[in-house]
Structure 1
Amino acid sequence: MSGLFVENQGPNWKKILYHGKSTFAVLLSIAVLVTIGWLGYSTVRNAYLDYKATDDYLEVSGEPVVYTVAKGASVNSIGSDLAEKEIIKSTKAWKSAVAGLGSEAQFQAGRFELRQHMPAEEAAKILSDPTKMIRTRVTIPEGYRMTDQWPIITKGVPAITAKQLQDAAKNKAALGLPAWATNPNSPEGFLYPETYEVDDTPTGAELMKAQVAQFTKVTTELNFDERAKTLGLTPLQALTLASIVEREASNPEDMAMVAGVFYNRLAKKMKFESDATVVYANNIKGRLTTTDKERANPSPYNTYVHVGLPPGPISNPGAEALNAVLNPTKHDYLYFVLVDPETGKTEYNTTWEGHEQSRQKFVAWCQAHPGKC
């Protein structure tokens, strides 16, 4: 029989045992090395943590706390204060954390939410991030005169006082007013109504400057100065008209209509006879109607006595009133009356007779709603 025959002798157990012992030896060596490495790492890490723990907290373990960075506080004084209040463990850890931030280590005055017993690095990152600052919001409605804005501001931002606002109003040069803000009661009219966000330690001057800056931004976007001139008004006259429209109308459509009435009266050299100007001239609070005596007040702001526009704004108008003056509705009406103060319904007339009929509707509404007028 030709060919090669190989007898099946079964597995070679000696070889298998040999290779098994070799593999086990390798695995055992790796395990020993890993164990030694882990023990070495753990020893070094624990030594580092023990060393660091003497100067710093390793993790947050305390209650939330609001911390205030005082105006003008130095980096070192902040660190000392944090350590004294037990927010961080030591000034040494603070200096190291600040050094680690490099150029980002800029600390602004204000309130921040921290925790007691926190790592200095974490505290430094929060205090150097302006977006982490606790801020206060105050909303100033449209159409308020300057002095009526102030109680809203002082209530919403207790750090600002009425005296601060009074002093800031007198220092016109520091507010950034436009060159044409020449009205006697300036900055009346330029304190833009908006929601403002302030830090924990604002001043009246800072908020007032922000209002003027926002006014400039809005009027620049409207191209207010140039568009006023195309309508035959100076920017101050247009702003003054907007301040009256803001007080006399309650929605954008009526604002444009009312602006049209006043433009028609200007063209005919008629008195505006705006009760809103009488309210301003007499510093009336809490009512819509005026008396014969109040309408006889010789104040230059009283348009029942004087023809044309007052010498300056009687309120601080918003964007809708500013825009209405630049885009008045064209019509022939010379009179308007708010016949329903609750709904804002307003009627317009071309004749005195029609105006008187509308006015009687307002009188009837007032009689039906005692104390509302």
Structure 2
Amino acid sequence: MIRTISRFIKLLILLGFVLAGTFVYYATQPLGLRHSPIDFDIAPGDSMRVVSQRVAEAGVKVWPPLLTWTARFSGHSVRVKAGSYRIEQDLSLWELVELLSTGSNSYTDITIVEGWNFAHLRAAMDANPDLRHDTLGLSDNELMNRLGLAPQRPEGLFFPDTYSFARGGSDTELLKRAYQRMAAILDREWQARNSNLPVKSPYEALTLASVVEKETGKAEDRPLIASVFVNRLKIKMPLQSDPTVIYGMGPNFDGNLHKRDLQADTPFNTYTRPGLPPTPISLPGVAALRASLQPRESNYLYFVARGDGSSKFSRTLEEHNSAVMQYQKAGKK
């Protein structure tokens, strides 16, 4: 009897070694993919059983119970990280478990550039292959409705920055983040504004900042450019900003601004209409917002581009005309 029990125990041990060896061999072999790349998401709180099923359904050739028990046996099941994952080449069972537990999620980013207008932003998002294009084909009004926002022109309402997102994430969610970021930063800068500004609301400040953003060639000139426009608004002098005219022309702008364009009245022509344009003309960054709300004190009413990105500032029309002649002549050499 004892000898029989001993043989049975040895048989069990041998069988255990065989099974362990088979498992180790299998766990280190490529699982195979039904297609490439494979993308899947893990939500916070997903159980290992749910994760295993999702991985298999996404296209990894793995038996879900085996993945579940491997993760549990190795202690990794409690460390699975939520996120968005992309698998582009074969990996073993062990490598898959390691991937899920280390959170090597598939994230990328998109940059919204300061000075872009909303059409540029939409074009960049529509062209991004890593975003899910839920807003593709929507009008601006439909898009704002999709974001749960009141009907309004979207220009200027989204903060330019670099945003990380999970591959396959919705462009709607990214736009919500950019909108909320702009709202928070605009509120912060508005609270710190100078007390004697001619702008009466955060939206007017955003509009002014969008013009300053488009007019600035060198960052160090931004506070003085803002001061020129603030000084003009205070004395009800037209802003006479070329970028506002160009924005109002839309697709009719051919790359060259002509005298007839400056004389053609549109809501955005700040040569023919006093005050700010009706909406922002670009996506201003925090520096433009701050410069517009805390402009440098000056007596300047004019500026002209020097041709190197910087601007020459003048107090009188006579000084300005002289600077225009100087730098236009230099630019034609």
User: Closer, same or farther in 2 for the Cα pair 1:158/1:359, shift >3 Å?
Assistant: farther
SS at match of 2:26: coil
Shift of residue 98, structure 1, vs aligned partner: 5.4
Residue 28 of structure 2 corresponds to 59
Shift of residue 357, structure 1, vs aligned partner: 2.0
Shift of residue 152, structure 1, vs aligned partner: 2.9
Q: Residues 218 and 319 of structure 1 are in contact (CA less than 8 Å); yes or no, is this contact kept in structure 2? A: yes
Residue 347 of structure 1 corresponds to 312
Q: Residues 270 and 277 of structure 2 are in contact (CA less than 8 Å); yes or no, is this contact kept in structure 1? A: yes
> What are the superposed Cα offsets for residues 84-129 of structure 1, whole Å, 9 maximum, x if unpaired?
643x3x222123245555554565444246643x12x542442365
Mapping of residues 1-150 of structure 1, within 5 Å: 43=14, 46-50=17-21, 52=23, 57-61=26-30, 66-69=37-40, 75=51, 77-81=53-57, 85-86=60-61, 88=62, 90-97=63-70, 101=76, 104-105=79-80, 107-112=82-87, 115-116=90-91, 118-119=92-93, 122-127=95-100, 131-150=103-122
SS at match of 1:132: coil
Unaligned runs of 5+ in 1: 1-38, 369-373
**Pair 1:212 & 2:179 matched:** yes
Q: Residues 282 and 297 of structure 1 are in contact (CA less than 8 Å); yes or no, is this contact kept in structure 2? A: no
CA-based RMSD? 3.5
> What are the superposed Cα offsets for residues 223-281 of structure 1, whole Å, 9 maximum, x if unpaired?
22323483342101111000000000123321100110111101111100100100110
Mapping of residues 1-373 of structure 1, within 5 Å: 43=14, 46-50=17-21, 52=23, 57-61=26-30, 66-69=37-40, 75=51, 77-81=53-57, 85-86=60-61, 88=62, 90-97=63-70, 101=76, 104-105=79-80, 107-112=82-87, 115-116=90-91, 118-119=92-93, 122-127=95-100, 131-157=103-129, 159-161=131-133, 164=136, 166-167=138-139, 170-175=142-147, 184-185=152-153, 187-220=154-187, 223-228=188-193, 230=195, 231-233=197-199, 234-283=201-250, 287=255, 289-340=256-307, 343-368=308-333
CA distance in 2, matches of 1:41, 1:336: 90
CA distance in 2, matches of 1:169, 1:362: 43
Amino acid in the other structure paired with 2:65: K
Q: Residues 338 and 345 of structure 1 are in contact (CA less than 8 Å); yes or no, is this contact kept in structure 2? A: yes
CA distance in 1, matches of 2:137, 2:163: 15
User: Closer, same or farther in 2 for the Cα pair 1:257/1:276, shift >3 Å?
Assistant: same
CA distance in 2, matches of 1:256, 1:165: 39
> What are the superposed Cα offsets for residues 306-346 of structure 1, whole Å, 9 maximum, x if unpaired?
11111211000111111111221111111111121xx2121
CA distance in 2, matches of 1:241, 1:44: 78
Unaligned runs of 5+ in 2: 1-9
**Identity, % of aligned pairs?**
25
SS at match of 2:186: helix
User: Closer, same or farther in 2 for the Cα pair 1:163/1:79, shift >3 Å?
Assistant: closer
SS at match of 1:303: coil
Q: TM-score, normalised by structure 1?
A: 0.71
Q: Which has the larger radius of gyration?
A: 1
Amino acid in the other structure paired with 2:215: E
CA distance in 1, matches of 2:97, 2:212: 51
Amino acid in the other structure paired with 1:194: D
Q: TM-score, normalised by structure 2?
A: 0.79
Shift of residue 349, structure 1, vs aligned partner: 1.1
Shift of residue 191, structure 1, vs aligned partner: 1.5
CA distance in 1, matches of 2:55, 2:295: 59
Q: Residues 272 and 307 of structure 1 are in contact (CA less than 8 Å); yes or no, is this contact kept in structure 2? A: yes
CA distance in 2, matches of 1:206, 1:323: 27
Q: For structure 1, which segment, 255-264 or 150-159, has the greater mean C-alpha deviation from structure 2 after superposition?
A: 150-159
Q: Residues 336 and 346 of structure 1 are in contact (CA less than 8 Å); yes or no, is this contact kept in structure 2? A: yes
Q: Residues 188 and 314 of structure 1 are in contact (CA less than 8 Å); yes or no, is this contact kept in structure 2? A: yes
Amino acid in the other structure paired with 2:240: E
CA distance in 2, matches of 1:363, 1:239: 31
